[in-house]
């Protein structure tokens, strides 16, 4: 239970779903933890659940300038950083003819642009060695209808694990990714569907998973713990699919 003992970790989108569960497991493994989020209610709930020792930062993942403020808060609290889990993201599912420029930009700002500049802002304080884990998606690999923009944004992150690995490994920074399939998190409740439609969408998605179920946040978090730990010291530029077999179809 001490695989992350002494490590300083930042989890974006760490106040619910996969991020919150990963924060729990990081703490159980001995890490010092900071989480970001935007919703005041979930920020406060996370603060109460995770304890006063956890740094809770209100930050918009799409705000490029705000990423420097996150880096400054981490520097002040921890002095440096050993682990970054880029987890904050948004999933919007629409047919191609329903998209407009503003919606397209919002998805890429949150899922790609903000995370890219967060990594840039944190470079001066990342330790040697350090681990960065990106939360991507099986949707970058499968041709699921209505996921064109979301899937493209996650494919961009999967490109970054390779290009940035080649660029940063000489500085001791490992970059890897987890690519979940459908997971039971509040993310699906933010898609804008009615309750009835949401249930229908969930059943349709579940039908695409050979395992016949949604994954759990804990199943994703356990893999993130491995990639963040020294056990994965030789794992560089890799993507671990945790999708119930969905990517094999």
Residue 195: its pLDDT value, please? Answer: 64
**Residue 158's domain spans which residues?**
8-189+216-240
Q: Is residue 236 part of a domain?
A: yes
Residue 116: its pLDDT value, please? Answer: 98
Whether 116 is catalytic is: no
Q: Which of 116, 150, 188, 234 is catalytic?
A: 150
Q: Give pLDDT tens digits for 130-181.
A: 999 999 999 999 988 999 999 999 999 999 999 999 999 999 999 999 999 9
The torsion of the CA quartet 65, 71, 74, 76, rounded to 10 degrees, works out to: -90
Q: Is residue 84 part of a domain?
A: yes
Q: Is residue 249 part of a domain?
A: no
Pairwise CA distance, residues 217 & 212, whole Å: 16
What are the structure tokens assigned to 62, written together? 């799409």
Q: Is residue 174 part of a domain?
A: yes
**Residues 66, 60: contact at Cβ < 8 Å?**
yes
The enclosing domain of 47 has a CATH number of: 3.40.50.720
**pTM of the complete model beyond 0.85:** yes
Q: Give pLDDT tens digits for 10-22.
A: 999 999 999 999 9
Residue 203: its pLDDT value, please? Answer: 78
Enter the DSSP assignment of 141.
T
Q: Is residue 247 part of a domain?
A: no
Q: Is residue 47 part of a domain?
A: yes
Residue 186: its pLDDT value, please? Answer: 61
**Residues 247, 179: contact at Cβ < 8 Å?**
yes
In the predicted model, residues of the chain with pLDDT beneath 50 are: none
Residue 1: its pLDDT value, please? Answer: 77
Task: Walk across the sheet containing 55-58 and list its strands.
Answer: 55-58, 32-37, 8-11, 81-86, 126-135, 173-180, 239-242
**Residues 134, 83: contact at Cβ < 8 Å?**
no
Q: Is residue 204 part of a domain?
A: no
Q: Is residue 1 part of a domain?
A: no
Total domain count, the chain: 1
Residue 194: its pLDDT value, please? Answer: 58
């Amino acid at each position: 239970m001490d695989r992350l003992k002494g490590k300083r970790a930042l989890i974006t989108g760490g106040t619910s779903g996969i991020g919150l569960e990963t924060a729990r497991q990081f703490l159980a493994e001995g890490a010092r933890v900071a989480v970001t989020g935007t919703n005041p209610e979930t920020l406060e709930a996370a603060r109460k659940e995770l304890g006063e020792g956890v740094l809770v930062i209100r930050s918009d993942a799409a705000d490029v300038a705000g990423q420097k403020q996150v880096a400054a808060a981490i520097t002040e609290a921890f002095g440096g950083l050993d682990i970054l889990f880029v987890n904050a993201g948004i999933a919007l599912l629409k047919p191609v003819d329903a998209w407009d420029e503003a919606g397209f930009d919002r998805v890429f700002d949150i899922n790609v642009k903000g995370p890219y500049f967060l990594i840039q802002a944190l470079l001066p304080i990342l330790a040697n060695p350090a681990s960065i884990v990106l939360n991507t998606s099986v949707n970058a690999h499968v041709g699921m209808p209505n996921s064109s923009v979301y899937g493209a944004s996650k494919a961009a992150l999967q490109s970054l694990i390779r290009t940035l690995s080649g660029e940063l490994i000489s500085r001791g920074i490992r970059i890897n990714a987890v690519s979940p399939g459908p997971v039971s998190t509040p993310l699906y409740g933010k898609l804008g569907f009615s309750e009835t439609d949401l249930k229908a969408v969930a059943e349709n998605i579940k039908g695409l998973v050979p395992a016949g179920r949604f994954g759990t946040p804990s199943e994703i978090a356990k893999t993130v713990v491995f990639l963040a730990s020294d056990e994965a010291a030789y794992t560089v530029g890799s993507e671990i699919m945790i999708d119930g077999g969905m990517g094999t179809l």
